[in-house]
Amino acid sequence: MAETIDDLINGADHVLFGFDGPLCRLFVHHPAAGIAHSLVRWLDRHGGQVRLTDGQRTTDDPHEVLRTVGLRHPGSDVAEALERELTRQELLAARSAWPTAYADPLIRTWSAVAQGLAVAGDNSSRAMEEYLAGRGLRECFATHIHGRTPDLAHLTPDPDCVLRALDSLGATPATSLMIGSTPADLLAARAVGVGFLGYAPDAGRAERLRAAGGAVVVESLVPVLAIVRRRR
């Protein structure tokens, strides 16, 4: 297993990026906590018999609300409608998201030397595409943008989005790298043998990644960009 950032990057022919975190701060103007609470209120109005625990009602993670409903009521009308509501919120957030520092030049540089780049994660593919198009980065990923599907059992840490990205790129796990910012990203990558580079802009998130088994974690994309530029 690669043990250094240089090993991970130089051994990667294909690169998978998580979206919220490695590429942008999606919820900077539309905070995730507010969206999570709005989804709970939406369920109170439209959810019928859906019941959440106190902890689930107060979570700051909108994907936790969606995951809970999807697992309890798979394929139901309420789960599908809740997913559409979250997509609507994510599309609004994508229009004012902030780029992660150095992500744009990293994507452009890496797209010139890697065999292919992809995005893989739990956000809406539509939100991912809208953000990337707005930054002029859409062509760097071609058709390889893989957000959540209607089957909510496949949210990370299930590796479905990673497998779809590998398949679309024609990539093998051994020569691929995922850059992610959550333990769920790490577990999804590791489940199929893809190398993982953690991105954590603060100590708390770095500690959570390391506790989940992340061996290489960076607080900035600057060293990543420097290595890719040398490779170029």
pLDDT one-digit tens code per residue, 177-198: 999 999 999 999 999 999 999 9
Of 47, 62, 94, which one is at a domain's C-terminal end?
94
Read off φ and ψ for residue 137, nearest 5 degrees. -110, 0
CATH assignment of the domain containing 219: 3.40.50.1000
Do both 202 and 125 map to the same domain?
yes
Residue 223: per-residue pLDDT: 97
User: What pLDDT score does 31 carry?
Assistant: 96
Residue where a domain stops, chosen among 94, 119, 143: 94
Tell me: the pLDDT tens digits for 8-35?
999 999 999 999 999 999 999 999 999 9
What are the tokens at 208? 């959570």
87, 169: one domain: no
Residues 16 and 124 in one domain: yes
pLDDT digits (tens, 9 = 90+) for 45-54: 998 878 899 9
Residue 1: predicted pLDDT: 45
Q: How many domains does the chain have?
A: 2
Is the pTM higher than 0.75? yes
SS (H, E, C) 138-192: HHHHCCCEECCCCCHHHCCCCCHHHHHHHHHHCCCHHHEEEEECCHHHHHHHHHC
Rg from Cα positions in the chain: 17
- The two structure tokens encoding residue 86: 């979250």
Question: Can you give the residue range of the structural domain that contains 82?
Answer: 32-94
Confidence of residue 231 (pLDDT cuts 50, 70, 90): confident
